Amino acid sequence: MPLIRTAPDLREKLQILSADAQYDLSCACSCGSGDSRRRGLDDRWLYPVTLQSGGRGLMFKTLVSNACANDCKYCPLRAGHDSTPRCSLTPEEIVRAFMPYWNSGQVFGLFLTSGVCGNPDAAMSRMLATAELLRFREHYRGILHLKIIPGASDAAIDRALSLASAVSLNIETAGEEHFAKLTARKNYLQSIIAPLKRIAALTASGAPYARVKTSTQFVVGASDETDREVVRYMGGLYGRMGLHGIYFSAYQRGLGDPSLPGETSSATNAELLAREHRLYQTDFLMRKYGFAADEIGFDDQGNLPLDVDPKEFWARRHPERFPVDVNRAARAELLRVPGMGPVAAKRILAARKNGGRVRSLESLGLRGALARKAAAWIAF
């Protein structure tokens, strides 16, 4: 039987909905297994977000509604799964809850997502009404991240892009075949791929909403996709759709429908979290280190090895590229060295530019486990 809550007040609804927002990690997530959220005023959850500058900030994040007509088998909020009290926030309630945090400087932005209460455009309408109140009545000019509901109309997508500073639409898995194992009510090409293409066209350089940041999320291990398939899709999402970020959420056994491939796979929850972490490392290689999707290495099953990070795995497969001479190598070559990141490469290039010869990483102030790892792959 559904759990029925009689007329919950705003605080009760926020306790439920901001906690349920943890199942959508796009724009606010951790690469580790720990719970990176923290409670703010009135028990509301605040989520740490990595900023483009490299710093960290707190995002106010909540579901508009946790009632959902979709049957996503990995989601605890799916239709027919009534272990969670269902409730919704009005646009006025969201504004009333959020603005004190904004005015006191405790958060740098708002992330709104929602279950599909009714149909996709009905769910979008509440988020859009909230955005309009914030932008036009409250004159809010901060970060506003809106989740695009799969199956939303072109008009709803366009309006969201006009109001938001960032949007995301979850791709969920790599391809139509795997997607069909997650849901019977959503169409992969129509509900996911077509909206992603529209968002890409409207946010491309020179397009009307080029200022809007875009992202997506994979649910890792709910279906039976391999990492090779995920990485191939990542290449397309960055290369053809111009996404600014991709997020990964490890499926945790016990949350979903027993028929899911993820419920019967041999992978443990710990291994799924490790897989999520390796995908984040791979994403960083592709976004920041110049790696192409077809350069990433996989094991015989088509997955990223869990016992070695993806850059070192690539280096082991390309011994002809090492050792790298730190006094001659270009930045792109330095970034291929296991254990070496942008900070180390920048210091090496700066030392060379100033006429010096780099004789050790320690001389540049680079120490610790990463410096020791890099030392095995470089020469002076």
CATH code where residue 31 lies: 3.20.20.70
| 212/301 Cα distance (integer angstroms) | 37
DSSP symbols for 54-108: S-EEEEEEEESB-------TT-TT-TT--SS---B--HHHHHHHHHHHHHTTS-S
Looking at the fold, whether 254 and 363 belong to one and the same domain comes out as: no
SS3 content of the chain, % helix, strand, coil (to 5): 40, 15, 45
Looking at the fold, whether 325 and 179 belong to one and the same domain comes out as: no
Q: Is residue 3 part of a domain?
A: no
Q: What is the pLDDT of residue 33?
A: 38
Q: Grade residue 280 by pLDDT with cuts at 50, 70 and 90.
A: very high
Q: Which of 258, 279, 310 is the last residue of a domain?
A: 310
0.85 cut: is pTM over it? yes
Q: Grade residue 3 by pLDDT with cuts at 50, 70 and 90.
A: very low
Share of the chain above pLDDT 70, in %: 85
Structure tokens at 65: 């509604």
DSSP symbols for 278-292: HHHHHHHHHHHS---
Q: Is residue 135 part of a domain?
A: yes
Burial class (CB in 10 A: 0-12, 13-18, 19+), 274: middle
Contact at 8 Å (CB) between 360 and 330?
no
Question: How many CA atoms lie within 13 Å of 198's alpha carbon, on the beta-carbon side?
Answer: 23
DSSP tag of 138: S
Question: Does the structure show a pLDDT above 60 at 140?
Answer: yes
Looking at the fold, whether 284 and 347 belong to one and the same domain comes out as: no
Question: Does the structure show a pLDDT above 50 at 247?
Answer: yes
Domain range for residue 207? Answer: 10-310
Phi/psi-derived region of residue 57, left when phi > 0, alpha when psi is between -120 and 50, beta in every other case: beta
Q: Grade residue 367 by pLDDT with cuts at 50, 70 and 90.
A: confident
Q: What is the pLDDT of residue 11?
A: 67
Q: What is the pLDDT of residue 47?
A: 58
Q: What is the pLDDT of residue 22?
A: 58
| 198/247 Cα distance (integer angstroms) | 20
For the chain, the domain total comes to 2
CATH code, domain with 354 = 1.10.150
Structure tokens at 239: 């290369």
Q: What is the pLDDT of residue 34?
A: 41
Q: Is residue 126 part of a domain?
A: yes
Question: Does the structure show a pLDDT above 90 at 12?
Answer: no
Mean residue pLDDT across the chain:
87
Q: Which of 310, 335, 364 is the last residue of a domain?
A: 310
Give the bridge partners for 56, in sequence order.
Answer: 50
Q: What is the pLDDT of residue 86?
A: 81
* 51-68 residue pLDDT tens: 444 455 788 888 888 888
Of the candidate ranges 112-116, 238-242, 252-256, the one whose mean pLDDT is the lowest: 252-256
Looking at the fold, whether 147 and 237 belong to one and the same domain comes out as: yes
Q: Which residue carries 């027919």 as its tokens? A: 80
Q: Grade residue 125 by pLDDT with cuts at 50, 70 and 90.
A: very high
At 287, give phi and psi (nearest 5°).
-85, -35
Looking at the fold, whether 237 and 335 belong to one and the same domain comes out as: no
